[in-house]
């Protein structure tokens, strides 16, 4: 019925598919083709190398942790920005987009300047013997930075449209603020929170520009997987670099699918709960 009324199905889908095919799929096919050059033995060798594993662990572990941190802080920030009125609210609201817009290299340099042992914050943290720059914590910091806007920006519109009646009802029934939050609001936000989490995760996994400035890049400790790809490239090991790239891509894809499943599950759970 719809199909007869609305025009442009052929052209819009055709255009989108062609564009996507040329810009994304064809290049990624080239990547997969190049990666296949290392063969099964080569892949096993690559994946069994402790250094590769350590780098993947740091990239994915760091990104998961960073996304979790972002989920918590993002929820807090989104909540405060939507629910409370205070001076400078608009300014801080605008500031949230900064990591989207600030070039990653600039972010990396600025964060390193701040958190290096002789920087404003780094010096202060050093007195507590907390090391951020040139340590795994620096990787985490940069990853939190680049992924931060995703959680806040996905949560905000939903928080705004959230039905306050439900909260009021819960409270009039004698629920405490905290209980209302945990039992009523959080479940309603869960699907959106997961979207934000997934986006922040995907962004952090592949991040290169800002991380290499602050990481220290010591193998087995603060070396991220994209850096390993770059190192392989510089030794003309295209196949190895491509293979690692494909492994990372598959990993992130699986993670995103898992998050999507969780999300579907949480939507169902919320709906059946109501």
* Residues within window 129-158 making contact with another protein, judged by CB under 8 A: 133-134, 144-145, 148, 154, 157-158
Can you tell me the distance from the alpha carbon of 222 to that of 54, in angstroms, rounded to the nearest whole number?
A: 9
Residues of this chain, 2-61, that bind another protein according to CB under 8 A: 2-3, 5-9, 11-13, 15-17, 19-20, 23-28, 30-31, 34, 51, 54
* Residue 117 vs 183, nearer CB to another protein: 117
Residues of this chain, 218-257, that bind another protein according to CB under 8 A: 218-221, 223, 225-227, 229-238, 240-242, 245, 248-249, 252-253, 256
Residue 161 lies near another protein (rule: CB under 8 A):
yes
What is the b/e burial string over 147-175, where b = at least 16 CB atoms within 10 angstroms of the residue's CB? bbbbbbbbbbebbeebeeeebeebeeeeb
Residue 272 lies near another protein (rule: CB under 8 A):
no
Residues of this chain, 178-197, that bind another protein according to CB under 8 A: 192, 195
Can you tell me the distance from the alpha carbon of 181 to that of 194, in angstroms, rounded to the nearest whole number?
A: 17
Among 84, 164, 165, 271, binds another protein (CB under 8 A): 84
Residues of this chain, 96-115, that bind another protein according to CB under 8 A: 96-107, 109-114
> In this structure, which long-range contacts are made by residues 254-260, counting pairs with CB atoms below 8 Å and at least 24 apart in sequence?
255/60, 255/64, 255/198, 255/201, 255/202, 255/205, 256/198, 256/201, 256/202, 259/194, 259/197, 259/198, 259/201, 260/198
């Amino acid at each position: 019925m719809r199909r007869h009324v609305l025009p442009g199905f052929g052209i819009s889908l055709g255009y989108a598919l062609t564009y996507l095919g040329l810009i994304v799929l064809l290049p990624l096919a080239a990547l997969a083709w190049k990666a296949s050059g290392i063969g099964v033995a080569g892949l096993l060798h690559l994946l069994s190398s402790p250094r590769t594993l350590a780098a993947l662990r740091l990239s994915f572990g760091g990104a998961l942790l960073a996304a979790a941190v972002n989920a918590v802080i993002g929820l807090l920030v989104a909540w405060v920005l939507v629910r409370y009125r205070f001076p400078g609210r608009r300014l801080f609201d605008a500031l949230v987009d900064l990591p989207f817009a600030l070039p990653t290299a600039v972010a990396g340099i600025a964060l390193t300047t701040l958190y290096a042992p002789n920087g404003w914050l780094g010096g202060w943290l050093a007195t507590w013997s907390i090391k951020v720059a040139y340590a795994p914590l620096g990787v985490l910091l940069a990853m939190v930075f680049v992924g931060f806007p995703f959680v806040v920006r996905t949560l905000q519109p939903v928080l705004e449209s959230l039905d306050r009646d439900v909260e009021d009802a819960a409270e009039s029934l004698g629920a405490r603020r905290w209980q209302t939050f945990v039992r009523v609001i959080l479940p309603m936000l869960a699907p959106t929170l997961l979207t934000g989490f997934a986006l922040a995760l995907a962004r952090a996994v592949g991040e290169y520009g800002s991380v290499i400035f602050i990481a220290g890049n010591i193998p087995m400790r603060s070396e991220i997987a994209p850096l390993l790809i770059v190192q392989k490239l510089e030794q003309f090991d295209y196949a190895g670099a491509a293979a690692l790239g494909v492994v990372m891509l598959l990993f992130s894809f699986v993670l995103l699918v898992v998050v999507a499943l969780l999300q579907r599950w949480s939507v169902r759970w919320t709906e059946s709960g109501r």
